[in-house]
């Protein structure tokens, strides 16, 4: 379950300076690493769409940023993704998926199924990774597409990468 280290390494290699996030158990170790990194500014959000605006501001201010969120937050962002497309700002987001493999919470199913189609409808380049061995290459490719190719991109981190959650002892 150390795939998060590959994302963190790719972020460091891409010179990411700002990380916006809504607290999420799936991203917890990555978030903590970003908070502890004196070269990154990790900013907790109250809702995911704030992260889209923050990423636009980071780019306008000459910095690279990444948005970390869970698939249930994608629906909150769809209107704001239009900002990135219209203004031609890059967007790199890592999304921990819910509503997939061994999901215990039926409320997570609709957005889990709708995440990729919703993002693709907004012209976001979407890739999914379900093998920890592929996280490093997919993370580096996402960041390259965003910051060099000037595209909006999302890497969906399949639920198979996360510990199986249950109602009892769940962190969500």
Instruction: Give the whole-angstrom CA distance, residue 150 versus residue 91.
Output: 8
- Look at the chain and report how many structural domains it folds into: 1
List pLDDT tens digits, range 41-54: 999 999 999 999 99
Nearest to 148 by CA among 6, 11, 14: 14
Segment 1-9 shows an average pLDDT of: 93
> Does the residue 27 lie in any domain?
yes
User: CB burial class (10 A; 0-12, 13-18, 19+) of residue 90?
Assistant: buried
> Does the residue 169 lie in any domain?
no
> Does the residue 49 lie in any domain?
yes
> Does the residue 126 lie in any domain?
yes
CATH number at residue 18: 3.40.50.970
> Does the residue 107 lie in any domain?
yes
Beta strands in 22-124 (DSSP E): 41-44, 64-70, 91-96
Instruction: Give the whole-angstrom CA distance, residue 130 versus residue 134.
Output: 8
Domain that holds residue 104: 3-161
List pLDDT tens digits, range 115-167: 899 999 999 999 999 999 999 999 999 999 999 999 999 999 987 777 666 55
């Amino acid at each position: 379950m150390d795939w998060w280290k590959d994302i963190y390494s790719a972020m460091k290699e891409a010179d990411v300076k700002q990380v916006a996030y809504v607290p999420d158990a799936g991203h917890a170790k990555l978030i903590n690493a970003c908070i502890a990194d004196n070269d990154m500014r990790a900013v907790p959000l109250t809702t995911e769409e704030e992260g889209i605006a923050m990423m636009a501001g980071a780019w306008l201010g000459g910095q690279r940023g990444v948005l970390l969120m869970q698939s249930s937050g994608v629906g909150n962002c769809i209107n704001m993704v239009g900002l990135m497309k219209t203004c031609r700002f890059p967007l790199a987001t890592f999304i921990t998926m819910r509503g997939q493999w061994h999901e215990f919470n039926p409320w997570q199913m609709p957005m889990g199924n709708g995440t990729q189609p919703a993002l693709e409808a907004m012209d976001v380049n979407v890739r999914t990774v379900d093998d920890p061995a592929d996280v490093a290459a997919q993370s580096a490719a996402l960041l390259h597409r965003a910051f060099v190719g000037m595209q909006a991109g999302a890497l969906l981190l399949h639920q198979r990468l996360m510990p199986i959650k249950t109602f009892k002892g769940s962190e969500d």
